[in-house]
């Protein structure tokens, strides 16, 4: 069965329905209107350079034939008609921005092959950027061309706050991102081209802790609706690569995000306080978390009370990041209704990585998390739920956040609800199979692990499964659970561990089958 994920004016994205993570069970051939296009082996595949307003017949070997019709557009404009050179030397910023400004509603700006050197570009509603396979938007290395924007400004009439920028969950000044949009809707970025932050050739990754202004993202969208990014390669951002902020209905489809393994804070995709985000068919290899779902630190959370809600991550492959799918640490607004399905995690430090602690507040609710049909290889610790996260913020070493004593539940106490992990295969683990550590005053409510197999690397190296105070090195530890109200372990095979396969401390109801 073929699912249609997206049909735009010049591109379309499809998904094979099966139980195989990321890769299809066998190679298949894609034909369009009877003409063979390519052979593929991934569950998600795409078509580009289509004609607007046209009916197509899609044939996939071994599957049914389906018909689809591309959307219409008001016009298609070549960026070079506005003087863009695309030689990698000429500064094309003003030429590209002028072309964007002149696009009518429903217009498409086409980038033919070339390297378009640019400072930050502002998008607007109801437009499409279309990058040919040989086209690259290349960020300038001149930091002075990335204006500093405030975290928020004040309406001069009403006195109300107007949010503009954000860095790591706070409304604070940041350098403008290479591609950005504010308060816009119906924005599409498609094609097989590249958006390159070019940070590796500048100073953005040098002495990052000394910077007082937040580094720019590759793509930042604040309070935008109906955003689709399809097919492109994004890479080498100064900081986070894809950062939708308080957005609704966002789709990241069949795209790749790359950065060196040692690049600082180059998270691939960090949706923050967003509603309805699909991340499907993507390939991530970065220096920090591959996907980090966020909802702001406590000031933003209390002001807007907006959780990250209804996120779907499916048929993706994550490599070399600290966490394949991370929740937090800026999650004071809460994260609910997350499904991760049919994915592959290779050589990340952790598979699921939840980061929270006391002080995140009553809105910091994480609930309704489902991981199923996942393959992990070389992941140091596949499952980590950590309510003692000790990185960032001045209070991390306080007595409040270090004592293991049971404290009163109050407005500062976070909450962990229901988590389900099933149908997973985790090979070549190092540190632990699973490490879940709740608060004594607020235990994790319910964890189910079912139909999972864990094996360990023969040369497993010790490490810390989570980032917390008073940490303990571990190696080949089984599944560790502390401060959990209800734990269900069904059909779990742990092979090669040292010590007990299941370790429980202050676990209420335990069901083992």
| Active-site residue flag, 311 | no
- Whether residue 351 is contained in a domain is answered as yes
pLDDT of res. 131: 98
**pLDDT for res 34:** 94
On whether residue 475 sits in a domain, the answer given is yes
The answer as to whether 293 is a domain residue is no
Q: Rounded to the nearest 5 degrees, what angle is found at the Cα of 350, between the Cα atoms of 345 and 355?
A: 130
Residue 58 and residue 43: Cα distance in Å, rounded?
15
Q: Quote the CA–CA distance of 462 and 428 in Å, as a whole number.
A: 13
| pLDDT on residue 4 | 98
Is 288 annotated as catalytic?
A: yes
How many whole angstroms from its chain centre is CA 240? 10
**How many domains in the chain?**
3
- Shared domain check, 162 and 61: no
pLDDT at 272: 98
Cβ proximity of 444 and 362 under 8 Å: no
Range of the domain at 145: 75-288
Pick from 342, 229, 217: which is nearest to 278 by CA? 229
Predicted confidence (pLDDT) per residue in 390-422, tens digit = 987 788 889 999 999 999 999 999 999 999 999
Phi, psi values for residue 299, rounded to 5°: -65, -45
CB 369 within 8 A of CB 328: no
Is residue 81 domain-resident?
Answer: yes
Q: Are residues 438 and 500 in the same domain?
A: yes
Distance CA 245, CA 163 (A): 10
Q: Is 294 contained in some domain?
A: no
Q: pLDDT value at position 62?
A: 81
Does one domain contain both 398 and 450?
yes
Concatenated DSSP letters for 76-136? EEEGGGGT---EEEEE-HHHHHHHHHHPPTTEEEEE-SEEEEES-EE--SSEEEEE-TTEE
CA-nearest of 139, 131, 140, 138 to 78 is 131
b/e code 297-321 from CB counts within 10 Å (16+ = b): bbebbeeeebbbbbbebbbbbbbbb
Identified catalytic residue from 311, 322, 349, 423: 322
Q: Are residues 419 and 493 in the same domain?
A: yes
* Phi, psi of 380, rounded to the nearest 5 degrees: -60, -50
The pTM of the full predicted model, rounded to 2 decimals, is 0.97
Q: What is the DSSP letter of 458?
A: T
CATH of the domain at 17: 2.60.40.10
One domain for residues 269 and 170:
yes
The pLDDT score that the predictor gives to residue 416 is 98
What CATH number does the domain containing 267 carry?
2.160.20.10
Strand (E) or helix (H) holding 505? strand 502-512
pLDDT lower than 70: segments of the chain = none
Residue 79 and residue 63 share a domain: no
Out of 130, 254, 288, 423, the active site residue is 288
Q: How does DSSP assign 284-334, residue by residue?
A: EE-SS-SEEEB-B-HHHHHHH---EEEEEEES-EEESSSEEEEE-SSBTT-
């Amino acid at each position: 069965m073929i699912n249609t994920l997206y049909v735009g004016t010049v591109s379309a994205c499809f998904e094979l329905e099966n139980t195989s993570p990321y890769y299809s069970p066998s190679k298949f051939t894609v034909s369009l209107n009877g003409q063979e296009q390519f052979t593929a082996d991934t569950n998600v595949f795409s078509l580009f350079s289509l004609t607007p307003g046209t009916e197509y017949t899609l044939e996939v070997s071994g599957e049914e034939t389906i018909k689809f019709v591309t959307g219409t557009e008001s016009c298609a404009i070549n960026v070079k008609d506005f003087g863009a050179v695309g030689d990698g030397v000429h500064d094309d910023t003003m030429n590209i921005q002028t072309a964007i400004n002149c696009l009518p509603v429903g217009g498409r700006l086409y980038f033919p092959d070339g390297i378009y050197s640019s400072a930050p570009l502002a998008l607007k509603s109801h437009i499409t950027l279309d990058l040919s396979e040989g086209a690259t938007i290349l960020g300038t290395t001149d930091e002075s061309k990335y204006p500093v924007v405030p975290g928020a400004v004040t309406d001069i009439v009403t006195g109300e706050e107007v949010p503009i920028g954000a860095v790591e969950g706070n409304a604070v000044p940041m350098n403008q991102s290479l591609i950005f949009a504010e308060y816009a809707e119906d924005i599409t970025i498609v094609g097989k081209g590249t958006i390159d932050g070019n940070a590796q050739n500048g100073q953005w990754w040098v002495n990052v802790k000394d910077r007082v202004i937040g580094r720019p993202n590759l793509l930042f969208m604040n309070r935008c609706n109906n955003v689709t990014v399809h097919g492109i390669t994004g890479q080498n951002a100064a900081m986070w690569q894809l950062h939708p902020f308080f957005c609704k209905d966002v789709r990241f489809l069949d795209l790749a995000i790359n950065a060196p393994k040692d690049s600082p804070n180059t998270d691939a995709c960090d949706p923050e306080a967003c509603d309805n985000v699909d991340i499907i068919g993507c390939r991530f290899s970065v220096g920090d978390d591959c996907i980090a779902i966020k909802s702001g630190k406590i000031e933003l959370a209390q002001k807007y009370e907006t959780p990250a809600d209804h996120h779907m991550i499916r048929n993706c492959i994550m490599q070399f990041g600290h966490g394949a799918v991370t929740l937090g640490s800026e999650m004071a607004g809460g994260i609910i209704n997350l499904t991760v399905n049919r994915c592959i995690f290779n050589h990340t430090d952790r598979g699921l990585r939840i980061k929270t602690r006391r002080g995140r507040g009553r809105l910091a609710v994480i609930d309704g998390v489902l991981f199923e049909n996942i393959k992990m290889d070389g992941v140091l610790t596949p499952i980590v739920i950590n309510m003692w996260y000790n990185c960032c913020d001045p209070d991390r070493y306080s007595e409040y956040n270090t004592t293991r004593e049971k404290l009163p539940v109050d407005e500062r106490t976070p909450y962990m609800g229901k988590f389900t992990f099933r149908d997973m295969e985790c090979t070549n683990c190092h540190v632990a199979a699973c490490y879940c550590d709740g608060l004594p005053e607020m235990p994790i409510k319910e964890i189910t692990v079912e139909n999972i197999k864990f094996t360990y690397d023969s040369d497993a190296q010790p490490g810390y499964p989570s980032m917390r105070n008073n940490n303990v090195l571990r190696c080949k530890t089984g599944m560790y659970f502390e401060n959990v109200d209800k734990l269900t372990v069904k059909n779990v095979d742990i092979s090669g561990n040292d010590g007990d396969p299941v370790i429980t401390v202050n676990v209420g109801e335990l069901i083992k089958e």
